[in-house]
Amino acid sequence: MKEEIAVLLEKLIQFKSTSSNLPELKNIIDFVENFLSDVPDLIARRYVVSGKPSIYLSYYNTYHPDILFVGHLDVVDAREEDFVPRREGDLLYGRGSIDMKGSCAVIMEMIRELSKESQKPNVGFLFTTDEEIGSENGVKYLVEKEGIGGEFVIIPDGGEDFQLVVEGKGVFHVKIVAKGKATHGSRIFNGENALDKLVSIYNEIKSHFHPEPCGDPDHWHNTINLGKMIGGDSVNRVPDYAEMYLDIRFVHPFTVQKMEEMIKEVLSKYPDTQYELISTGNTVFTSKDNPYLMKYKRIAESILKRSVPFTKEHGATDGRFFSERGMAVLITAPKGGNIHGNDEWVNLNSLVDLFNIFLRFVKEK
Ligand SMILES: [Zn+2]
């Protein structure tokens, strides 16, 4: 199986499927569909939303199978040479090898392998092409508008070397605007400084967060970053307009709604202010005693012959779209490195391990 996975992955890497390359995104989804076109009983449904193609495959006529595998075939920009796969021993180099065409190749080979089963498991497979730019027209649309989901959702795109990511932080990007009254810098008492107002608002919002250093090595707490602040045009003028952009990350059981309430409450004390949500996403939170998760952990440990720990993810993942609808999500990944950098790589033996774990997981009753 190692050779089959490697050859398939080499083909996938050669597609320059960066998020903005719409023709190539279509080509790679065509390739997936063609690769699986002779698998009996497999139902394929294709979607195109704002030019971004996706494909959903299942053995039964359902959008909510027992197990749903989710993968993205878009990649971030890379040098020309990173789209030429290169093998060195057990390692395969190339853009997308670990993020996450390697895992997609494993899923595709698993679908072919499952075709030999007389009684097909109730499993679905989703491949999208806009994860690297926020999944608006991929997973987000498909979950929210088409109702695609699963009892247990596996996203092999995060968590180093088979670790089991069962918690992820939520994200809350907000723009806050303050208006004031312009006047000369020598007569501030006749005006109202919009920047000054934002500074006060920022400090008040910040008081809801742990200051760093916090003493927690995992930093499993809410954080805030003032990423951008704009306002004013001259040293001797009181600015009448200012805006700032905050990047807030939060942990379960906080929610987007709770964050918004906090922002509203602070802003209510400052006249002539408003906010606008730029992008938001809830946390991922899967209970460690979920039966699917326990079964997955047992099988992974048996195949890898070592323990695989639970872990947490600071960055946002596609898992949030499923988790906020109450679905159990597991994020895990094979062994690889240099994600988004030069010479991205994946260990081919770890892809075989992933294949064996997935296969046993879906076959075992
Ligand atoms: Zn901290």
Is the pLDDT confidence value at 246 over 90? yes
**Cα(224) to centroid of ligand 1, in Å?**
11
Q: Output the CA–CA distances (angstroms, integers) from residue 33 to 39, 108, 261, in the order listed.
A: 10, 10, 45
β-strands 67-72, 152-155: how paired?
A: parallel
Whole-number percent of the chain with pLDDT over 70: 100
Question: In whole angstroms, what is the distance from residue 225 CA to residue 184 CA?
Answer: 31
Summarised one tens digit per residue, pLDDT across range 169-222 is 999 999 999 999 999 999 999 999 999 999 999 999 999 999 889 999 889 999
Residue 316 confidence (pLDDT): 82
In contact, 123 and 44? CB cutoff 8 Å: no
Lowest mean pLDDT among 33-37, 41-45, 105-109, 157-161: 157-161
- Among residues 1, 21, 141, 23, the alpha carbon closest in space to that of 76 is found at 21
Is the pLDDT confidence value at 315 over 90? no
CA atoms within 13 A on the CB side of 79: 9
**Cα(134) to centroid of ligand 1, in Å?**
25
Question: In whole angstroms, what is the distance from residue 329 CA to residue 281 CA?
Answer: 15
Summarised one tens digit per residue, pLDDT across range 327-347 is 999 999 999 999 999 999 999
The residues placing their C-beta within 5 Å of ligand 1, an ion, are: 214, 219
Identify any residues that bridge with 11 across adjacent strands, giving them in sequence order.
none
**Cα(222) to centroid of ligand 1, in Å?**
8
**Cα(213) to centroid of ligand 1, in Å?**
6
H helices of the chain, where? Answer: 2-14, 22-35, 102-114, 141-144, 194-206, 256-267, 291-304, 319-323, 348-363
Is the pLDDT confidence value at 365 over 90? no
**Cα(206) to centroid of ligand 1, in Å?**
14
**Cα(211) to centroid of ligand 1, in Å?**
7
* Interaxial angle between packed helices 2-14 and 348-363, expressed in degrees from 0 to 180 and rounded to the nearest 10: 110
**Cα(220) to centroid of ligand 1, in Å?**
7
Q: Which domains does the chain have, with CATH numbers?
A: 2-168+284-363 (3.40.630.10), 170-281 (3.30.70.360)
Query: For all residues of the chain together, what is the average pLDDT?
Result: 96
**Cα(262) to centroid of ligand 1, in Å?**
20
Q: How many CB atoms lie within 10 A of CB 219?
A: 17
In contact, 83 and 14? CB cutoff 8 Å: yes
Mean pLDDT (whole number) for 22-37: 97
Residue 50 buriedness (CB in 10 A; 0-12 / 13-18 / 19+) = exposed
**Cα(76) to centroid of ligand 1, in Å?**
29
**Cα(337) to centroid of ligand 1, in Å?**
25
Residue 145 confidence (pLDDT): 96
Residue 136 confidence (pLDDT): 92
In contact, 250 and 314? CB cutoff 8 Å: no
Residue 336 confidence (pLDDT): 96
Whole-number percent of the chain with pLDDT over 90: 92
Mean pLDDT (whole number) for 240-263: 97
Question: In whole angstroms, what is the distance from residue 126 CA to residue 65 CA?
Answer: 11
Summarised one tens digit per residue, pLDDT across range 43-77 is 999 999 999 999 999 999 999 999 999 999 999 99
Is the pLDDT confidence value at 160 over 90? no
Q: State the pTM of this model.
A: 0.88
**Cα(183) to centroid of ligand 1, in Å?**
41
Residue 159 confidence (pLDDT): 83
